[in-house]
Every structure is written in C-alpha cells, then in structure tokens.
Amino acid sequence: MKRLAAIGVHAAILLAVAFALYPVLWVVSLALSPHESPGAIPWPTEPSLDAMREVVLRTDDEGRYLFLMQTGASLLVAFSTALVAILIATPAAYALSRFRFVGKDASQQALLATQMFPGVAAAIPLYLILDALGLIDHLGGLTLVYATTAVPFAIFQLKGAFDTIPRDLEEAAMVDGATPFEAFRKVVLPAARPALAVTALFAFMTAWNEFILAATFLSREEIFTLPVVLQRYVGEHRAQWGHFAAGAIVVSVPVMALFYWLQRHLVGGLTAGGVKG
Amino acid sequence: MKRALTALALVLAGALPARAEPLRLWHAYGGAEEVALREAVRAFERETGQEVDLLAVAFGAYLAKLESAIPTGRGPDVFIDAHERLTTYVDAHLVAPYGGEVPASLEGEPLIPLRTEGRLYGLPLSLKCAALYLNDDLVPEDPGSLDALVATPVGEDRFPLVMEAENGYYVAAILHALGGELLTPTGEYDFQGPAAETTLTWLAEQVGAGRIPDEATGELVQRLFASGRAAAAISGPWLAPDLPEDLRWRVIPLPPLTAGGRPLEPYLTVEAVFAAADEARSPERVAATEALMRYLATGRGARIRAETARQVVADAAAWTSPALADDTFLRTFRAAADTARPMPTDPRMRMTFVPAQRALRRVLRGGEAPADALAASARTFADDTRPPPAERDPTLALVVFGLLLLLLVGYWVHRVRDPAVRVALLDSLPAYRWVAHAFFAVFALVILPLLVGAAVSLFAGRGRDLHYVGLANYADILTARGGDLLGDRSFYVVLGVTVLWTVLNVALHLLVGVFLALLLNRPKLRLRGVYRVLLILPWAVPSYVTALAWKGMFHRQLGAINAILEALGAEPVSWFAHFGTAFAANLATNVWLGFPFMMVVTLGALSSIPDSLYEAAQVDGATRGQRFRRITFPLLVPALAPAVVMGAVWTFNMFNVVFLVSGGEPGGSTEILVSEAYRWAFTRGQLYGYAAAYAVLIFGILALWTRATVWIGGRKERRVRRARDAAAKELATS
C-alpha cells in the first residue's frame, strides 16, 4: 500500500515535471534545428549548433565579439540593479518593520499602489527625466530605473523578513552597548540573509528580462542588453526563430544557475514576504 | 545648454573629437541587408573621411525609439524606413525635408511617394512588393492566372499555392485587380462592396478546398515553399534568403486572378533614407547628412546593396551594370514594382490592416458571410479613427486642482500646529533617516513618471499632438463610446474577461502549486531536490521567450500541441479561432509560468509549521485528512494570502502572455484591460490619452480590490489566530 502511494506520488510529480519541461525542450530543439519546426516530440533530427554559433560569435566591423560584450553589459546592469535595489530597500524596509513614524501607512500604501499601475504609460516621462539627468544611452541610467522599479517589491519582501526576526536579538545587542545601526548590521542583516538573497534574485530578474525600456533608452549596440538583442531576430518580414531560440537559451542559463544556487534560500526567503497593508 | 555641457564633459574627459562628430544612422535591417548597408557605409567613410555610427534597432521598438529620441536631440541624423510612415513622421516633426540636389537617376516613380505637401522627404533606396514564387519541379510552365495555378494537380500533402490569406497587405493585390481598394485617396475605409466580397469568396473557396493552407503566417509560407510542400508562394523579396540551395525556383510578376483579367496589383513599399529633424544641425552637418543619403541611394552604395543583399534598388543607373541586368530575380521584382501600387502614406492606411484581418479571419476561420464580416470591419475602423473629444478650457480644472492643493496644505499646517503631531514628527526623524533615500528614488523614478502618465489621461489627440479634454476619455470608456455596453470592445466586456482571467489563473496557480508542494513535502520522498529544481524551471526562463514558445506550440499547422493531438488520433484544433480555445491557450501558458511561485511560497510556509503539531495530532490519533484540515490548511492560509493578493495584481496586468500568445485573437475577444490599453496606445493610432485613462481605471480597480482584501483579510486573520490558539491549547492539554 505504502509502495503504491509512493509510486502514485512520483507519477504525479513526473507528470508535472513533463509539463514544466516540455516548452523548454521545445525551445532547445528549435535552437538546434533551425531549418525545421519541432514536432510532437521535441528532439532535433539533425542537431546543429549553427544558430547558436552565429548568435554567440557575432562580431562587429572591428572584430569585437558583440554578443559577449552585450552579455557583459546585461550582467553588469542586472547585478548592479540587484545591488542598488538592496541598498535602497533594506534600510527603508527595516524602518517600516521596526519604527513608528508619521506617514508610515501612507508610504506602504503608495508602495503597493506602484505595483498596480501598468508601467507602459511611464516610458516617455521616464525618458524625459533620464534625459534631464544626462543618463540616456547609459547603463547607469538603465540600472537606476530598474533598481527603483524593483524597490517597492523588495521593500515588501524585506519588511516581511524583518518582521519575523525577533526584536529581542537587537535589544540584547543594544543592552550590550551597540548603536541601533550596529544592531541592524550585526544582528538583523545576517539573520535576514536568505530573504536578501531572494530579493536580490528578483531584482536581478527584473533587469535581466526587461526589453521595452532598454530598447528605447539604449542607442549603442555594444551596450544593448540581451533581450533587446533577441528582439532583433524577429523582424518585420522575417523571423529567425532558430537564432531567437539559441539566444534565449543563453539568456536563460544565468538565471537558471542563480535559481539553482539560491533554491534553498528561495523556500525560506519567500515565506516572509508580506503585503499586509 | 545641454550641448554646451556635453562638450564640456568631453573636454574634461580629454576626448574632444578632432574631426567632425560621426553621423548617426539608424535602421531595422537584419541579415544580408544589414551586411550590405554596413559595407556601403564603410565605403562612404573611406571616400569622404566622415565617420558614421550605425545602429540596428529592433523593428518592434523602432517607432517608439524615434519618437522619444529625435525631439530630445538624441536621435539619429539619418534613418531608414518604409515610405508609408512618412506622413506620421512629418506630423510628429521627426523628419526634415531633403534640400540637396536630387540625383537624376532617382527621378521618376520611386520619388513620388516621398513627396508630401510639395516637399521632398528622403531619397529612395529600394522597392519592395510581392510577386509569385514558383517551384520549377512542380510548376514547370508559368500559370496564366491564379485560378489556373490553384487547379494545378500537385499531389498528396501539397498545396498549389501558399499565401498569407488573412493579411490585408497580400490580399489587397487581389482586391486592386478587381477594382477595389482598402482606403480611398481621401482616407475613407473602402474594404467593402462587390470587389471585396468577390475577393473574400474566392479566398474562402480556396482555403475551404485545401488549395491554400488556412491560418498561414509568414513563417508557414516560408516553411511550406522551402520544403517543396507548396508549388507556389506569394511573397516579397524577403523570402529568397530563407530558401535552401537545392530548391529549384523562379519568380514571376503576379498573374491575373482569372485568365484575361487585370494582373494582381500588390502594394509597393519604397524603402527610403530620411534625415531626422534637428533644427540645431549646422549647415556643414546638413551637407554631410545629405551626402550620406545620396551615397547610399545611388552609385556605389546602390550597387553594393543590389549585389550583396539583392535589394531591388531604386537607382536607375545601377541597372545598367551587367550583374544586375542579367539577374532575373531582381529584374522581375523591378518590373513588378512598376505595376505595383504605392502604399498611401495616410496614417489611416496602417489602421486598415487590423480591421481587414478581422474580416478575413471571420470569413476564413469562422465561415461568416463576407458582407457581414466586411460591415463589422468597417465599424471597427470607424471606431479606431473616430475624432478625439473636443478641446476644453482647463481653467476650471486648474482652479479646482489649486483649491485642493491649498486645502491639503492648510490641513497639514493645521495638523502640525497640534503639539501632539509635532512631537510625533520629531519622534519620526530618526526613522526618516532610514527611508529618505528610498523615498526620493522611488518618487523621482517610479511615482513621478506614473503621475505624469496618469495626467495624460486628461488629454486627447493622436501622437504628441495633444489637447486638454477633461474627463472626456473616461466618459468615453465608461459609456462604451456611446455604443452597446456589452458589445465588442466595451470596457465592461474586457473587464469581465480580465476578472475571469485573474480568478482562473490564481485558482489554478494555487491548486497546482499547493498540490505539488504537498507532494514534495512528504517526509521520505526521494529525488526531492531534483524535482524541485525541474519544477522551478518555468520561473527561471524569461517569460517573453516561453510565451513565444507556447504560441508556437499552439500553431495550427506547425505546433506541437496539434501534433500530439494527431498522434493520439484526434482532430487538430484551430486554437486561436475561438474564444474558448484561445483563452485556454493563454491560460495554459500563464499557469505554466506562475505555478512555481505558488509552489515555492507553499513549500516555505509548510516548512515553518512546527513538526510538534503533527506529532501531537498523531498521538491523538488524528487521520491524515484531519491533520490537513485542522493543522496544515489553517496555517497555510495566512502565509499564502499575501502571495495570492500579489499574484492576482500581477496576473491582472499580465501583458506578456496575452499579447504574445493569443494577441487578443479571435477578434480582440481575449484581450485583457492592460493589453487593450496597449492596443489603443500603439496599434490603434496612438491614442495615448485614451490608453492612459485605461491605465488609471486599472489602477482604480486594483486599489479598490486590495483595500477590500485587506479588510476581509483582517477579519480572517483574527479567525485564524483563534484557530491557532485553539490548536496550541489542544497541544498543551494533550
């Protein structure tokens, strides 16, 4: 009986795994067989790495490897976004979790509200603001925009995490002579590490996957982010799906690696996220 | 001022260019065309010493990028685009007239579409129109008419002809031959009447009889013709680079529909190089810009484009070279261009394609009578091009706004005078030090742009030409523009679809996510780590990639889902032809994308339930069902509630999936509010104000809804707390 139940559980999970993997395999198969479209079984009959090679080893006139430079630009933007978002959000989240102050409820509601307004409407005003700051066509400007977009959700996530850390720990530290900031840095931050990691991952993904703003703001090919590069394979009359899929695989790998690396934290780090107004 | 600062910055960086600044050239070419353009530009640099920076922009982002960059002086000097967008560019002041000398070899037909209101904008590069590709083995002799072609026996599992039968761009060729048109010269919608009905009837007959494949996309046209499964294809010069070398094929101009009739007349697109508007451009730079334009359009530039990319160049002089004169492919397309009809530059032209496509789909997929479908499409066009609401005097609104502001300030002054509030404010100062930077960053880069975006909802007009209209956009939306409140495209219908979309998605995310989490959480499960990683995968792949993959999997002929169905012996389904199946396709995609998040949240919540509770319950002899009902479930609910609220907000605005998978098909019925807003802003003639009003309404609905859940959640939380206390008490007494 127990055995039967175990088989049932594995069967159910395997079904779900098949559901989860199928589209991914389809993309892989498309990337490996650019001249035919995958059938019911996504397995390339004549696997070829041509598309992958053409995408990854693309060079410009001066023989520079464009795709590698663009990957570098994307990684730079995504990691800086994660870092800046965490730097901005952490103290604010801590204040929301621990202090009472005038305007606390209002600011929490304003943060929640930013998640509800469709972002498409903000592209042109953002362009003008960045232009005034001289940050158009600049990875720093893009990072700043992504980081601030990621901040509201990061604050919720981290506030939730700080809420679960008992105050006694900090109070004990302060009794021992620590300042509030030291207590925060030496006691609270280490305890919130899983949540910080997960929040950073989300901020990373915001930047790594965005293409509407990146396509509008960037005008030098060597600093295009990868989603913008991929978008170019879908033209007006022709779409090079094999190339698109090959690029998509390259784009997905770093995020998958981060997920794999952070998966333990992911389970612990998300629980705390609270949106309770 | 900005220029001065930039120059200063360059000096400080020690990088002041010794020569003239490079000219900037933007284009949306890919493949061989991009290579050829690059080559031509390098040749120009060598000959003139003037540097040029090239930028390849994604086609989907081209207009938005030109629109935002050129007015701020950050755009290109020169850009390449099709002539039919010229009026849009002129109206938006994005393009400058060409004032230089016009090379004699460009005079004539190709120049006509580039003139508007007596001025010449840009120089023609290449001519693009459709022609007929024939497979030499299957159609050895040129058919005298399309009727003769589709009657050719080609054998099992092959089509006599493949064309994008649902695309107005190609269908217009037939329509023109029959004396019809999509748009009259005065800008009236004209896809109606006998010519349009005959066109639709003919197409429906061929598709119904399997002589032209149904639901053909550009990709299918390419695949079928390239693999020899179609004897002929109607397409443009862009098809040729994707054909395999071992395929024997030729091109002829489009024949008439029936023998002896007028030949089909496709649309002609003149790809041209334009000078971007820039009043601050110095005379020398203008001269350099125009020199580059001439270089690309004529002489060496034209020859490189013709030879490297096989472009059908507009420059007459290039055709005297033997390489071009002997090239039948190029000559055929050049001849086809002579009889083709230049696409009108009226911005309304582009707005005919969506209604025309809807009419075609209703007939070809839904089997509707042509006359009814055409009448419906005319109504859609009228709705898309309706005049904006009348301008209103903003004084009253400004006064009301000013008074409100004053009232707010007064209220705060009054409050701060209250000593208790002053003490509270002083007490808040330390906390403000922790939040100040977040406040300023979020305000400047998130809230301010959103407020500006929201303010646009009080204006109307097309593109940047906006005037104040008060609340007229809201009134239009909420009254369905005077039409049927439950009719096509009404706000309420779209809202209904959005709510259904959100509820089903969140329910399925929860069901699948919680179920899998409970399975993964079983104590002695093997391979748990592997399973968990594989199940999180959908979350880790960028959603724009997987959404496109799912769209491909639901493709009528090429998709995997239909291949599976056929392997199981079932009939293939035309997924995007009916609301139910199209909605299901979107739903499947989004459930796939979203369940890992719920699963991970649930796993986290499960791991925080102390084992002691279960052990105690087991000691008490509680069954597995009882343990789930009394312990797991009540403790999961509060942990999942925030995730559900957040997930619902995200799903409500899940633009990517709806836009990329069903694209609103059929007939815009699967559109949700946020994608509908996008359509009004970008595909139905740039009604930014109207779209902004949609965005504000979406915000309002979500704000109300989250307020309600917070209130309900508060009540539930108290109930859950009681349940938890009771469980703890039980534990203590046992």
Nearest Cβ partner for B60 among A152, A231, A263? A231
Type of residue found at A172: A
State which of B440, B472, B504 marks the end of a domain: B472
Give mean pLDDT, residues B130-151.
Answer: 92
Phi, psi angle pair for B365, to nearest 5°: -100, -40
B468 and B561 together in one domain: no
Query: In angstroms, rounded to a whole number, what is the distance separating the alpha carbons of residues B463 and B251?
Result: 40
Chain A residue at shortest CA distance from B221: A238
Report the mean per-residue pLDDT for chain B.
87
Q: Are B445 and A145 in contact (CB < 8 Å)? A: yes
Is B236 at the interface with chain A, CB within 8 A?
yes
| Helix B688-733 × helix B448-455 angle, to 10° | 130
Is B3 at the interface with chain A, CB within 8 A?
no
Asked if residue B63 belongs to a domain, the reply is yes
The number of angstroms, rounded, from the C-alpha of B475 to the middle of its chain's C-alpha atoms is 27
Query: In angstroms, rounded to a whole number, what is the distance separating the alpha carbons of residues A273 and A154?
Result: 9
Q: Closest Cα of chain B to A138: distance in Å?
A: 12
Query: In angstroms, rounded to a whole number, what is the distance separating the alpha carbons of residues A222 and A60?
Result: 9
Query: In angstroms, rounded to a whole number, what is the distance separating the alpha carbons of residues A204 and B539?
Result: 13
Asked if residue A276 belongs to a domain, the reply is no
Token pair, residue B372, equals 């009814």
Tell which of A1, A181, A236, A252 to mutate to test the B interface (max B CBs under 10 Å). Answer: A236
Tell which of A124, A162, A202 to mutate to test the B interface (max B CBs under 10 Å). Answer: A124
Query: In angstroms, rounded to a whole number, what is the distance separating the alpha carbons of residues B543 and B516?
Result: 21
In the three-class reduction of DSSP (H, G, I as helix; E, B as strand; rest coil), residue B134 is classed as strand
B477 and B619 together in one domain: yes
pLDDT of the residue at B508: 96
Nearest Cβ partner for B646 among A102, A219, A275? A275
A106 and A129 together in one domain: yes
Asked if residue A57 belongs to a domain, the reply is no
Nearest Cβ partner for B600 among A137, A211, A266? A266
Q: Closest Cα of chain B to A228: distance in Å?
A: 7
Percent of chain B with pLDDT over 90: 37
Q: Are B649 and A89 in contact (CB < 8 Å)? A: no
Q: Are A124 and B68 in contact (CB < 8 Å)? A: yes
pLDDT of the residue at B409: 94
Domain that holds residue B467: 395-472
A122 and A154 together in one domain: yes
Is B238 at the interface with chain A, CB within 8 A?
yes
* Domains of chain A: total: 2
pLDDT of the residue at B452: 85
Query: In angstroms, rounded to a whole number, what is the distance separating the alpha carbons of residues B690 and A120?
Result: 13
Q: Is the pLDDT of residue B512 over 90?
A: yes
**Which chain A residues are within 8 Å of B430, Cβ to Cβ?**
99, 180
Find residue A249's DSSP bridge partners: none
Q: Which of A36, A69, A63, A67 is nearest to A54 (CA)?
A: A67
B100 and B233 together in one domain: no
In the three-class reduction of DSSP (H, G, I as helix; E, B as strand; rest coil), residue B342 is classed as strand
pLDDT of the residue at B731: 63
Asked if residue A277 belongs to a domain, the reply is no
Q: Is the pLDDT of residue A37 over 70?
A: no
A30 and A67 together in one domain: no
List the strands of the sheet with B249-252, edge to edge: B232-235, B131-135, B249-252
pLDDT of the residue at B471: 87
**Which chain A residues are within 8 Å of B61, Cβ to Cβ?**
211-212, 215-216, 228, 231
Tell me, what CATH number does A225's domain have?
1.10.3720.10
Q: Are B446 and A209 in contact (CB < 8 Å)? A: no
B84 and B153 together in one domain: no
Q: Of A208-217, A236-245, B173-182, B337-346, which range is least confident?
A: A236-245
Residue B50's alpha-carbon distances to B43, B250, B285, B499, in angstroms, are 10, 41, 10, 58
Token pair, residue B614, equals 């279960």
A39 and A100 together in one domain: no
Nearest Cβ partner for B649 among A94, A115, A119? A115
Residue B413's alpha-carbon distances to B402, B417, B420, in angstroms, are 16, 6, 13
Split at pLDDT 50, 70, 90, the class of B14 is: very low
Residue with tokens 């290109």: B76
B420 and B490 together in one domain: no
A193 and A226 together in one domain: yes
A40 and A129 together in one domain: no
Asked if residue B7 belongs to a domain, the reply is no
Please calculate the CA angle B34-B36-B42 and round it to the nearest 5 degrees. Answer: 105
**Which chain B residues are within 8 Å of A228, Cβ to Cβ?**
58, 61
A114 and A215 together in one domain: yes
Q: Is the pLDDT of residue A272 over 60?
A: no
pLDDT in tens, A190-235: 888 888 988 899 899 889 988 888 888 888 888 899 988 888 887 6
B630 and B561 together in one domain: yes
Query: In angstroms, rounded to a whole number, what is the distance separating the alpha carbons of residues B216 and B314?
Result: 31
Chain A residue at shortest CA distance from B639: A271
Asked if residue A71 belongs to a domain, the reply is yes
The reported pTM is: 0.84
A105 and A12 together in one domain: no
pLDDT in tens, B594-651: 999 899 888 888 887 888 888 888 888 888 888 888 888 888 887 788 788 888 988 9
Split at pLDDT 50, 70, 90, the class of B10 is: very low
Give B232's DSSP letter: E
Count the neighbouring beta carbons within 10 Å of the beta carbon of residue B432. Answer: 15
pLDDT in tens, B205-230: 999 998 999 888 888 898 899 989 99
Phi, psi angle pair for B251, to nearest 5°: -120, 140
Q: Of A53-67, A181-195, B244-258, B711-725, which range is least confident?
A: B711-725
Tell which of B425, B442, B598 to mutate to test the A interface (max A CBs under 10 Å). Answer: B442
pLDDT of the residue at A239: 75
Asked if residue B15 belongs to a domain, the reply is no
* Domains of chain B: total: 4
B623 and B701 together in one domain: yes
Chain B residue at shortest CA distance from A55: B31
Tell me, what CATH number does B678's domain have?
1.10.3720.10
pLDDT of the residue at B733: 63
Q: Are A200 and A270 in contact (CB under 8 A)?
A: no
Strands B23-27 and B78-82: parallel
Q: Are A114 and B450 in contact (CB < 8 Å)? A: yes
Query: In angstroms, rounded to a whole number, what is the distance separating the alpha carbons of residues B524 and B105?
Result: 81
Asked if residue A98 belongs to a domain, the reply is yes
Give mean pLDDT, residues B69-97.
Answer: 90
Q: Closest Cα of chain B to A56: distance in Å?
A: 15
Asked if residue A214 belongs to a domain, the reply is yes
Domain that holds residue A109: 63-271
Count the neighbouring beta carbons within 10 Å of the beta carbon of residue B217. Answer: 17
Residue A259's alpha-carbon distances to A107, A264, B517, B540, in angstroms, are 31, 9, 17, 7
pLDDT in tens, B323-345: 888 889 999 999 999 889 999 98
If contacts are CB pairs under 8 Å, which of residues 475-514 in chain B contact chain A?
512
**Which chain A residues are within 8 Å of B541, Cβ to Cβ?**
24, 27, 248, 252, 255-256
Nearest Cβ partner for A112 among B534, B563, B706? B706
Nearest Cβ partner for B447 among A114, A155, A211? A114
**Which chain A residues are within 8 Å of B693, Cβ to Cβ?**
none
**Which chain A residues are within 8 Å of B55, Cβ to Cβ?**
219-221
pLDDT of the residue at A236: 67
Q: Is the pLDDT of residue A39 over 80?
A: no
B515 and B595 together in one domain: yes
pLDDT in tens, A76-110: 999 999 999 999 999 999 999 888 888 888 888 88
Listing DSSP states for B74-113 in one string gives -S-SEEEEEGGGHHHHHHTT-EE---SPPPGGG-SGGGGG
Q: Are A17 and B535 in contact (CB < 8 Å)? A: yes
B546 and B421 together in one domain: no
Asked if residue B9 belongs to a domain, the reply is no
Is B312 at the interface with chain A, CB within 8 A?
no
Phi, psi angle pair for B521, to nearest 5°: -85, -5
Q: Is the pLDDT of residue B675 over 80?
A: yes
pLDDT of the residue at B480: 81
Q: Which of A18, A263, A13, A262 is nearest to B518 (CA)?
A: A13
| Sequence-separated (6 or more) residues with CB below 8 Å from residue A115 | A152, A153, B646, B649, B650
Nearest Cβ partner for B442 among A17, A148, A244? A148
| Residue B482 zone, left/alpha/beta (φ > 0; ψ -120 to 50; rest) | left
Query: In angstroms, rounded to a whole number, what is the distance separating the alpha carbons of residues A257 and A275?
Result: 28
pLDDT in tens, B18-71: 456 899 999 988 888 888 999 999 999 999 999 999 998 888 788 888 888 888
pLDDT of the residue at A277: 32
Query: In angstroms, rounded to a whole number, what is the distance separating the alpha carbons of residues B227 and A36?
Result: 9
Q: Which of A249, A115, A137 is nearest to B75 (CA)?
A: A137
Q: Of B181-185, B318-322, B554-558, which range is least confident?
A: B554-558
Burial class (CB in 10 A: 0-12, 13-18, 19+), A169: middle
Phi, psi angle pair for A217, to nearest 5°: -85, -30
Q: Closest Cα of chain B to A73: distance in Å?
A: 17
pLDDT in tens, B692-725: 898 899 999 988 888 887 777 677 667 767 776 7
Token pair, residue B296, equals 């690309």
Report the mean per-residue pLDDT for chain A.
84
Q: Which residue has the higher pLDDT, B464 or B289?
A: B289
Is B549 at the interface with chain A, CB within 8 A?
yes
- Written in H, E and C, the secondary structure of B620-654 is CCCCHHHHHHHHHHHHHHHHHHHHHHHHHHHHHCC
Tell me, what CATH number does B103's domain have?
3.40.190.10
Asked if residue A54 belongs to a domain, the reply is no
Chain A residue at shortest CA distance from B452: A125
Q: Closest Cα of chain A to B269: distance in Å?
A: 13
B318 and B431 together in one domain: no
User: A38-77 burial by CB neighbour count: b if 16+ within 10 A, else e?
Assistant: bbbebebeeeeeebbebbbebeeeeeeebbeebbebbbbb
Q: Are A255 and B42 in contact (CB < 8 Å)? A: no
A8 and A142 together in one domain: no
Is B604 at the interface with chain A, CB within 8 A?
yes
Token pair, residue B89, equals 């560019």
pLDDT of the residue at B324: 84
Q: Tell me the Cα Rg of chain B.
A: 31
Give mean pLDDT, residues A1-28.
Answer: 87
Token pair, residue B86, equals 């010229």
Q: Is the pLDDT of residue A120 over 70?
A: no
Is B691 at the interface with chain A, CB within 8 A?
yes
Query: In angstroms, rounded to a whole number, what is the distance separating the alpha carbons of residues B73 and A101?
Result: 44
| Helix B194-208 × helix B353-364 angle, to 10° | 50
Token pair, residue B695, equals 């965005």
End-to-end CA distance of chain A: 47
pLDDT of the residue at B169: 94
Asked if residue A129 belongs to a domain, the reply is yes
B103 and B121 together in one domain: yes
A250 and A173 together in one domain: yes
B511 and B447 together in one domain: no
A37 and A82 together in one domain: no
Q: Are A101 and B539 in contact (CB < 8 Å)? A: no
Asked if residue B3 belongs to a domain, the reply is no
A15 and A124 together in one domain: no
Size (chain A), residues: 277
Q: Are B512 and A107 in contact (CB < 8 Å)? A: no
Asked if residue B5 belongs to a domain, the reply is no
State which of B332, B363, B384 marks the end of a domain: B384
